[in-house]
């Protein structure tokens, strides 16, 4: 199984500042056949189901604010929130869909306001 490891486990950032969350996979999730990274990012607010933010490592889901961006390739990925808003307080998860079964998630990163 591909193990996804996020860092840090928790993060406190001031409003308007940049937040950066990292995700590392135990093996590459870059498919040579299509040159795509099979990596997604989700946001989960308290009491709600997860919300898809980013897929193919850097493609923003429709309706997601452009302050959210994804980058990286192979085994190392980053979710960046360029200017933190109060409504961004949540737990963020990365997920690989390179191999099936199973699809695997990172352990989550809790983002709070400093």
Which residue ranges make up the site for other proteins (CB under 8 A)? Answer: 38, 40, 42, 44, 48-52, 55, 61, 93, 95, 97, 100-108
Q: Which is nearer to other proteins, 44 or 71 (CB)?
A: 44
Residue whose CB is less far from other proteins, 82 or 97:
97
Smallest gap from Cβ 16 to other proteins, in A, equals: 28
Bridge-partner residues for 94, per DSSP?
Answer: 41
Which CB sits closer to other proteins, 68 or 93? 93
What are the angstrom distances between the C-alpha of 11 and each of 8, 30, 35, 66? 7, 28, 32, 21
Instruction: Tell me how many degrees the CA angle 31-61-88 measures, rounded to the nearest 5.
Output: 115
């Amino acid at each position: 199984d591909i193990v996804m490891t996020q860092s840090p486990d928790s993060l406190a950032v001031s409003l308007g500042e940049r937040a950066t969350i990292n995700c590392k996979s135990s093996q590459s999730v870059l498919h040579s056949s299509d040159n795509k990274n099979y990596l997604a990012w989700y946001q989960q607010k308290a009491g709600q189901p997860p919300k898809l933010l980013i897929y193919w490592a850097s493609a923003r889901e429709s309706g997601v604010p452009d302050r959210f961006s994804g980058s990286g390739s192979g085994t190392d990925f980053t979710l960046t929130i360029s200017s933190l808003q109060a409504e961004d307080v949540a737990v963020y998860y990365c997920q690989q869909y390179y191999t099936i079964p199973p699809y695997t998630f990172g352990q989550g990163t809790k983002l709070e306001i400093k």
